[in-house]
């Protein structure tokens, strides 16, 4: 029982860090708080009651009428989301734990993030210093997150459909950014096999892309982008808005 409780504590801490990081790195903290509240299926009135504040306080935070909460308020906010979910059976925590911490590392996820406000494919191209190999007609489409993947580790670790779906976080409306690629063929073949369509695919680590990879992008109508960023760290920083 003690080992099980320790494992549960570790999972809760990883999920809490994921939520806190997403909110703090968000360009709109209020919208990020609303997104997480709704993701956990908690009403404003219920959350307000549990935090011992009026519903208008929660509404003001989410709308931006009240300045961003301090660390203490944010900590109580996250702890309350997790506690409510645990009381309901912990299904949301279990879902989030699949793309957080150790399990993410094991399947090759380098970085994963959900957006409070959507990002266009055009902005994605700018963030990754990308060259469009296919999909200029999709530049105005929007995505709600991204996953940066070590393609070598993913090939070694992914064991089936469920593992592959962990790359998509909370929504398939995201960019998949594959690093350490040689031709870009393997990621596109994998997407074709599982028949899942992200908003965009970015490859990094090669100077050119395989013709088959480009052809598969056309067939699936997925924007296909070659990143010219100098390093994976640069991509992470630019995607998180930490570098110009």
Interatomic CA distance for residues 147 and 186, integer angstroms = 16
**pLDDT of amino acid 6:** 59
| Per-residue pLDDT, 7 | 58
Pair (221, 131) in one structural domain: yes
Number of domains in the chain: 2
- Do 115 and 152 fall into the same domain? yes
- Which residues have CB under 8 Å from 63's CB, separation 6+? 30
Whether residues 91 and 123 fall in one domain: no
Q: Same domain for 64 and 128?
A: no
User: 92 lies in a domain?
Assistant: yes
Averaged pLDDT for residues 10-22: 80
pLDDT in tens, 129-158: 999 999 999 999 999 899 999 998 888 877
- Same domain as 208, residue 89: no
pLDDT computed for residue 243 by the predictor: 53
Separation CA 31–CA 62 (nearest Å) = 5
Mean pLDDT of the 20-45 span = 89
Question: How do residues 47-88 score in pLDDT, each as one tens digit?
Answer: 999 999 999 999 999 998 988 888 889 999 999 999 999 999
Query: Cα(39)–Cα(34) distance, rounded to whole angstroms?
Result: 8
Q: What is the pLDDT of residue 99?
A: 57
pLDDT on residue 230 = 95
| Mean pLDDT confidence for 20-41 | 87
103, part of any domain: no
Residues 113 and 89 in one domain: no
Give percent above pLDDT 70 in the chain: 90
* 54 within domain boundaries: yes
Q: Is 57 in the same domain as 117? A: no
Residues 67 and 128 in one domain: no
CATH of the domain at 79: 1.10.260.40
The pLDDT value recorded for residue 67 is: 84
Domain that holds residue 163: 108-239
CA distance 180 to 227: 11
Sheet holding 109-120, edge to edge: 109-120, 142-150, 175-179, 200-203, 224-227, 130-134
Question: What's the Cα-to-Cα distance from 28 to each of 2, 31, 86, 100, rounded to whole Å?
Answer: 40, 6, 27, 22
Report the predicted TM-score, pTM, of the whole model to 2 decimal places: 0.63
Within a domain: 57: yes
The answer on 207 and 133 residing in a single domain is yes
- The CATH number that applies at residue 217 is 3.40.1390.20
Q: Please check whether residue 221 is in contact with residue 191, taking contact to mean a CB–CB distance below 8 angstroms.
A: no
Does residue 68 belong to any structural domain of this protein?
yes
């Amino acid at each position: 029982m003690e080992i099980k409780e320790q494992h549960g504590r570790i999972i809760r801490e990883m999920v809490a860090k994921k939520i806190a990081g997403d909110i703090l790195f968000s360009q709109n903290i209020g919208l990020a708080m609303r997104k997480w509240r709704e993701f956990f299926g908690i009403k404003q009135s219920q959350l307000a009651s549990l935090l011992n504040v009026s519903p208008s306080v929660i509404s003001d935070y989410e709308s931006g009428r009240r300045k961003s909460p301090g660390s203490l308020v944010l900590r109580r906010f996250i702890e309350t989301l997790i506690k409510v979910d645990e009381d309901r059976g912990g299904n949301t925590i279990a879902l989030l734990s699949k793309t957080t911490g150790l399990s993410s590392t094991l399947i090759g996820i380098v970085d994963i993030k959900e957006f409070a406000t959507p990002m266009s494919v055009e902005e994605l191209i700018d963030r990754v210093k990308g060259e469009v190999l296919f999909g200029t007609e999709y530049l105005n489409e929007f995505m709600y997150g991204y996953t940066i993947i070590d393609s070598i580790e993913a090939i070694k670790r992914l064991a089936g459909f469920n593992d592959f779906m962990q790359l998509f976080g909370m929504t398939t409306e995201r960019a998949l950014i594959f690093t350490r690629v040689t031709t870009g063929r393997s990621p596109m073949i994998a997407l074709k096999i599982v028949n899942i369509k992200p908003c965009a695919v970015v490859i990094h680590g090669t100077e050119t892309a395989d013709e088959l990879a480009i052809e598969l992008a056309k067939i699936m109508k997925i924007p296909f982008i070659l990143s010219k960023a100098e390093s994976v760290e640069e991509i992470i920083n630019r995607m998180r808005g930490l570098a110009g």
